[in-house]
Chains A and B, each alone.
Chain A
């Protein structure tokens, strides 16, 4: 694997491979020594054109735990408003020795353009491109689901998963739909009609406008962050109405199955899409998602930068 741009590019086998690698790396780094020497001498650049402290920190931690050097480049706003093109920025960073570029960009497809336009040789990880995909988020979500429902699962067949919120603009939803379908889960997307793509039937999943319908059946309820500015574009009237219809409040939380989990990619709007009670409940695995994010990103970096296969590393490290 040279790049990680989209869940659409991955086979079920590759997805499970990344999750298994993450499991191994988690075991290896769970002791008092959290660092492996695997990527010593390699340079990872975090190229962030959007504010995202948590994703950047997660990639930074992942790279450092594998002993890679990390450079952070934050360019707020688009390449256009900044005056320098994406191409020039990337070529500059590569000239400074980047082996892998982690890119977060407001334009859908930016990671793919960076990887496939012949601009640079480096590997590229998509850390979120516009409203397209956020593949490492979907992988860490899958890792979290696996930890909860069976850490060696190679299929999610039989799991009922709801994704609730602004599907239309969510890269997290797109990546998760692709991944969860490949893994055989039964996925339902729940949103007001304005926030579901009009062609949702072509996604091969269920969709519903009603959060209260069949709420008792879900094993996983994944809440999406709602951008308040969507109100200004009339996607919904106001936060209160959104919250009533599509927020995970205490009443809805109580109706969930006893072993169901509540997920959220963060950062949460408490009181909007998720109540404090839900966010802090024992069903919530939001904090686990954050720690799982680091090991899953370690696995991605590890696979892309051509580390030896994980079992041989295991032996080397164990020796």
Chain B
């Protein structure tokens, strides 16, 4: 199987042809020819495939919302060639058995790499460490551990977890949310929550945990990753820590780069998400931090839910929104179109940095001879309108329905195989 990408714009600014044979890029040059699959990439950007370190796939347990297969489809539609499903499935991914099951389902789907994240604590209960080494040693080779959805709030357990994963090069991805400060919380605490009478979720509940964990990790020489930063204060803490040379990485979601708590005025729980949408000031701080390197990566926190979990009153609704298929468009619209960030930086935050944090060695590679061909081919100028009915995810809970975005993924190549062509999925997909 040979694929020839003709006349695409490469990250280094050159226009060239790329030959892919088997899994690998074998040649980059001018006016190459081939008898294999020819893809006209004129006007398109060839980027290393994106890597999402924060995905919810719902399998096992809630296959009515998403499966590994449907989530993989959504991923490659969004240009992601590797995704990392979080551990809050049912049963929880806190054992080698469950992470291997998810990993194997990913292999069977065969559309992208599915690298499971393991739970830090048994049952996500925050009491007892899960068998993290067994998960690390399993076929799934788990390196990222997180109780996402819940915070590892117990200081001692967090300390032990940070220390323990050093034994196998692991990293703890913290969902920073002080549980006592957010009991019953529904949305960002501020002007809007006070008017709407929705229980507030103070910024300090996130910032206090981040500050504690950075100091803990630093004292232990451990790796810490902070999930979905949402406040200006969190940004300032991370910026300070990095200035001190502390080992911490941080992510931001596309929705926190675009939406604010003003959306809650509709009381439409399509905007209900954890951490909550914050203020315009927070959005500006997050964008600046992503551009200047304080925030390392964009991660989707793709959180599919069936319709009935959102078709209700705010307090009864589930937290979360889908995001794999709109991530690139939102990053381009909020960061590139606004002039805040370059394409080089976009490649870092969507591909290179997450691959590095996860240790995903086949991803985030420079496009050069010998690299494994995990590639997203993007039309940077395309204006398109998000239509929730066209999502490949099993769920429809996008807050971006009707939004006009700039830039979209046109073709996706996974392990040298064309898995999406002209925005149509192709290849062997077993139901």
- Are A and B bound to each other? yes
Name A's B-contacting residues (CB within 8 A): 8, 78-80, 85-87, 105-110, 112-113, 116-117, 129-133, 168-169, 171, 174, 197-200, 202-203
List 27 contacting pairs A-B, 8 Å CB cutoff, sorted by A.
A80-B312, A85-B312, A85-B316, A86-B312, A86-B313, A87-B312, A105-B313, A106-B315, A107-B316, A108-B186, A108-B196, A108-B314, A108-B315, A109-B196, A109-B267, A109-B313, A112-B267, A113-B313, A113-B314, A129-B197, A130-B315, A131-B199, A198-B189, A198-B194, A199-B191, A199-B194, A202-B191
6 closest Cβ contacts across the A-B interface?
A: A109-B267, A132-B197, A197-B194, A131-B197, A107-B315, A107-B313
Given contacts A112-B267, A199-B190, contact A132 B316 (CB under 8 A): no
* Closest chain A residue to B202, Cβ basis: A198
Contact of A79 with B316 in the complex, beta carbons under 8 Å: yes
Contacts A129-B197, A197-B194 given; indicate if A85 touches B314 (C-beta within 8 A).
no
A109 and B311 form a contact (CB under 8 A): no
User: Contacts A86-B316, A108-B267, A202-B191 known; A130 to B311 CB distance under 8 Å?
Assistant: no
For A197, list chain B residues within 8 Å (CB). 194
Q: Which residues of A contact B196 (CB under 8 A)?
A: 108-109, 132
Q: Which residues of B contact A116 (CB under 8 A)?
A: 266
Contacts of B199 in A (CB 8 A): 131
Distance in Å from the Cβ of A50 to the closest Cβ of chain B? Answer: 13
CB distance from B140 to the nearest CB of A (A): 35
Among A80, A87, A202, the residue within 8 A (CB) of B311 is A87
**Inter-subunit contact B312/A113 (CB<8 Å):** yes
Complex Cα distance A283/B227, Å?
57
What is the 8 Å Cβ interface bit string for chain B, positions 294-337, against chain A (1 contact, 0 not)? 00000000000000100111111000000000000000000000
List of B residues within 8 angstroms of A87 by Cβ: 311-312
Secondary structure of the B contact surface, majority rule: loop
> In the complex, what residues of B have CB within 8 A of residue A85's CB?
308, 311-312, 316
Q: A133 to chain B: which residues have CB within 8 Å?
A: 197
Check B314 against A107 for contact (C-beta < 8 Å): yes
Contacts of B311 in A (CB 8 A): 85, 87, 117
List residues of B (178-207) whose CB comes within 8 Å of A's CBs: 186, 189-191, 194-199
Residues of A within 8 A of B195 (CB): 8, 174, 203
Please count how many residues in chain B sit with their CB below 8 Å of the partner chain's CB atoms: 20
Using CB atoms, name the residue of chain A closest to B314.
Answer: A109
Chain A hits for B191, CB < 8 A: 199, 202
Contacts of B197 in A (CB 8 A): 108-109, 129-133, 169, 171, 174
Q: Are B316 and A108 in contact (CB under 8 A)?
A: no
Nearest CB on A from B182, distance (A): 13
For the complex formed, measure the closest distance between the CB of A244 and the CB atoms of chain B, giving whole angstroms: 27
Q: Please give the distance in Å from A179's CB to the nearest CB on chain B.
A: 14
What residues of chain B lie closer than 8 Å to A79, measured between beta carbons?
Answer: 312-313, 316
Residues of chain A contacted by B313 (CB below 8 angstroms): 79, 86, 105, 107, 109-110, 113
Give every chain B residue within 8 A of A110 (Cβ-Cβ).
267, 313-314
Distance of A135 from chain B, by nearest CB (Å)? 13
Which residue of A is nearest B267, CB measured?
A109
Q: How far is the CB of B270 from chain A (nearest CB, A)?
A: 11
Alpha-carbon distance between A203 and B316 when the two chains are bound, in angstroms: 27
Closest CB-CB distance, A47 to chain B, in whole Å? 12
Residue ID in chain A nearest B264 by CB atoms: A109
Instruction: State the CA gap A245–B326 with chains docked (Å).
Output: 53
Q: A85-B311, A198-B189, A202-B191 are known contacts; what are 8 more A-B pairs with Cβ within 8 Å?
A: A79-B313, A79-B316, A107-B314, A109-B196, A109-B314, A110-B313, A112-B266, A132-B197
Q: Which of B186, B191, B313 is packed against the most chain A CB atoms within 10 Å?
A: B313
**Could you give, for residues 352-390 of chain B, a 1 whenever the CB lies within 8 Å of some chain A CB and a 0 otherwise?**
000000000000000000000000000000000000000
Using known A-B contacts A113-B267, A199-B191, A202-B191, determine if residue A108 contacts B312 with beta carbons closer than 8 Å. Answer: no
Contacts of A171 in B (CB 8 A): 197
Min C-beta distance of B232 to chain A, whole Å: 16
Residues in B whose Cβ lies below 8 Å from that of A8: 195
Complex Cα gap A171–B197 (Å) = 7
Q: How far is the CA of A162 from the CA of B189 in the complex (A)?
A: 25
How far apart sit A130 and B197, CA to CA, in the bound complex (Å)? 7
Minimal beta-carbon separation of A21 from chain B (angstroms): 27
Q: Which residue of A lies closest to B192 (CB)?
A: A199
A132 shortest CB reach to chain B, Å: 3
Cα distance, A79 to B316, chains bound together (Å): 8
Report how far A174 CA is from B307 CA in the complex, Å.
32
B98-120 vs A, CB cutoff 8 Å, 1 = contact: the mask equals 00000000000000000000000
In the complex, residue of chain A having the shortest beta-carbon distance to the beta carbon of B190: A199
Docked pose: A129 CA to B190 CA in angstroms: 19
